[in-house]
Structure 1
């Protein structure tokens, strides 16, 4: 279990993490989400004792990370897959880490096999691709067979097969009763992987909830309706002050999109007004929509570019 209490970190006049309190429990994958600059990496670094909090504390299994003996047997972490010696082979790197934490050397070959790097174990890590570097970083995190995993962007650089492999691995480890805490900007992947979410923005806690609950409370679902009598449906919706938009589906057919409405309500309205329906479906909001709704005003860097029309004109040099 990871416990964060009143955690605060300031760098000069900048508050990177602001009074965070949350608990990451075993038996589930907990996703850690936030815009760039939200304080995710700084929070993870403080949990691992790499940064000292300005105020508050973070513990793993009730103890500060820095007090753990042979910490890799309790906590496995991946914060930066590029932090590896370029001239040391993958196997020698893992062997060195194992010996420094009292881990049997035979475990090195086990984790190399687990992450799919057995065939390149003797090659220098400096020649690894981004995806291979991620796999090596995951091997190091798993080396001590830890009960707690802290991973920052573990699928960065992986191909689709690798992403599915990481997803399956994390869910399997959580099902074994381990604590899995993982950050990612790939929200569609996090929707498939995480059971619970910790969401922060500008260093502050925004949400601490199961994935489905976060989506339900952060973004509205919508009813999608098609009818051969669009004017009648328009009048019925306007008569009930129900907001809607008219859009085209991929086949060019007009669809009424009604935010926040249930199919029960719209179905009853159509029945009362004798309006025939060709389609009536409820569309649940995605994790991406919920994330944008809850953090849109918390992003540190917001792009102004919305299309080619916003591109500044480039004048040709006049010779």
Structure 2
């Protein structure tokens, strides 16, 4: 188990991580989420001993990383996929790491095959794409066949096949009882990969919960219902009357149309079970009954509102063209958007 206890990191007047406490148990994939500048990478670096905390501690299997007898066989980490010598080959980059950790040379070729880099093992890393560097970084993390994996943005730059492969790998390793902590900004992918979420903002804990509970707690449910035939008015009346009778008069019932242009009713904050029961008691046959919840991305945006350190301003609104002069640069005294 990874234990983070009151972890704090300050750089002068800036607090990057602020009294952060959470645990990462074995046997599941734990997603580590937060806006840019939230302190995710700093936290991961402190867990593996690359940064010294200002206060608090992080423990791996009850010990600080520096006190582990065989760190490479205990923890595998990918924190910077580009942190390799560009003039070394992929095999040479892994070989020195294996030798430093006392691992057999055969393990290098095993992990190269595992990540799909066997055919380019002799090529210089400086010519690798971002996705290939990611695969090499994952190979390095897996060299010691570790019980703990700490990966910072492992799917960044990978194609869809590569992302799917990483998803399967992480879930398989967790199923073996290993401890997996992974950060990512690809929230749709994280929704398919992670079992549990640690969400931070401005260095502080925002959420420590399962993916399902996180979405449920940070989004509203909407039930879409469509009656058979021309019974929309009867169903609407039945729902309004039934919700008022159940003391749920605040639930909204609105008319809408689906993707095929058919009229439907949308009932906010009421489950499909409740809507179905009301329709049944009213004797209205249903053609559709669907419960919709927000995606992980929508729930994440809701939960981290106010915790974002770097937020872009609104995009400038294009003004109607007034001829060729409309495209000319602004005058010195007019406001301009700074360079990104």
TM > 0.5 fold call: yes
Residue aligning to 1:316: 327
Aligned 8 A contact 1:70 1:102 in 2: no
Aligned 8 A contact 2:239 2:279 in 1: no
CA distance in structure 1 between the partners assigned to 2:319 and 2:104 by the alignment:
60
CA drift of 1:233 comes to 4.0
Structure 1 residue matching 2:308: 3-state secondary structure: coil
Aligned 8 A contact 1:237 1:243 in 2: no
Aligned 8 A contact 1:36 1:300 in 2: yes
TM-score, normalised relative to structure 2 = 0.86
Residue aligning to 1:230: 232
CA drift of 1:305 comes to 3.2
Q: Aligned runs of 1:1-319 on 2, under 5 Å?
A: 1-227=1-227, 228-239=230-241, 240=244, 241=249, 242-305=251-314, 310-311=317-318, 315-317=326-328
CA distance in structure 2 between the partners assigned to 1:89 and 1:311 by the alignment:
49
CA drift of 1:283 comes to 2.1
Give RMSD over aligned pairs: 2.1
Structure 1's 233 and 304: CA in aligned 2 closer, same or farther, altered over 3 A? farther
Q: Residues 248-274 of structure 1, C-alpha deviation per residue, up to 9 Å, x if partnerless?
A: 322122332223211222123334445
CA drift of 1:313 comes to 7.3
Aligned 8 A contact 1:225 1:277 in 2: yes
CA drift of 1:129 comes to 0.7
Structure 2, unaligned runs of 5 or more: 330-340
CA drift of 1:237 comes to 4.6
Aligned 8 A contact 1:152 1:183 in 2: yes
Moved more, 14-23 or 267-276: 267-276
Structure 1, unaligned runs of 5 or more: none
Question: How many residues matched?
Answer: 316
Structure 2 residue matching 1:17: 3-state secondary structure: strand
TM-score, normalised relative to structure 1 = 0.92
